[in-house]
Amino acid sequence: MARSLRTEAIVLRSIRYGEADRILHMYTPGYGRLAAIAKGVRRARSRFGARLEPFFHINAMLHEGRGDLHTVTGVDTIAAHAGLREHAATLDAAARACDAVARLFETPDPHPEVFRLLANELTLLDSGAEHARAATGLAFRLKLLLAAGIVPQLASCAGCGAAEGRPARAQCAACSGNRVESGPDQRQELAFRQAGDFAVNGARCGGKRGGGR
């Protein structure tokens, strides 16, 4: 039976549909990833069309139909994150963060910790362009992997995948030109590279599932 639900949500993606509608992909703390149609929101007199752009943190009222597509019936803005739209770097970083969540968490299974991670990342990017660093984005993806129960494998070469029996090295001797690369910085580099490969490309990154999931 159809029902209504109210939930916090972050708009991951907004797609034009028909003459005046939009299809939204949203991430929520209690319902995971949801798809919804917002009817008539592209019309000039729409009550909440401007609140359904990507990266908006909202309170949404949704009507649950028979299929997977909900209908948006009401929206209140929690955070518009207007600041991150002022710089190309923060806009790109926010898009990558939302894309990583969309790729890794495609189901309606609840992951409130993932929602909090994404909300915090968008708030950080909104506070200034200096936070749109590659290392910050890759660290965010690594946290997503851990939330998904995927543990990056740090004992193999980031270049060829070979295990030398010497963990904490980002690359084997052959790939690094016989240069010794070991230590915390190299472990972090390898984790970042694996996180980026998995979250951006949606491919396996040489990691393994953690226990308990």
Q: pLDDT 10s digit of each residue in the chain, 213 long?
A: 568 899 999 999 999 898 889 999 999 999 999 999 998 888 877 777 788 899 999 999 999 877 788 999 999 999 999 999 999 999 999 999 999 999 999 888 999 999 999 999 999 999 999 999 988 988 999 899 888 887 666 666 766 767 654 444 456 667 766 554 444 445 555 555 555 444 444 433 334 444 443
Structural domains for the chain: 3-81 (2.40.50.140), 153-205 (no CATH)
For residue 42, the model assigns a pLDDT of 85
For residue 96, the model assigns a pLDDT of 94
For residue 152, the model assigns a pLDDT of 63
Q: Which whole-number Å values give the CA distances from 88 to 83, 128, 198, in the listed order? A: 11, 12, 24
Question: Which residues lie below 8 Å from residue 42, measured CB to CB, with a gap of 6+?
Answer: 16, 19, 20, 21, 22, 49
pTM, to two decimals: 0.73
Q: Which amino acid is at 140?
A: F
For residue 26, the model assigns a pLDDT of 96
Closest CA to 123 of 56, 33, 65, 187: 56
For residue 166, the model assigns a pLDDT of 47
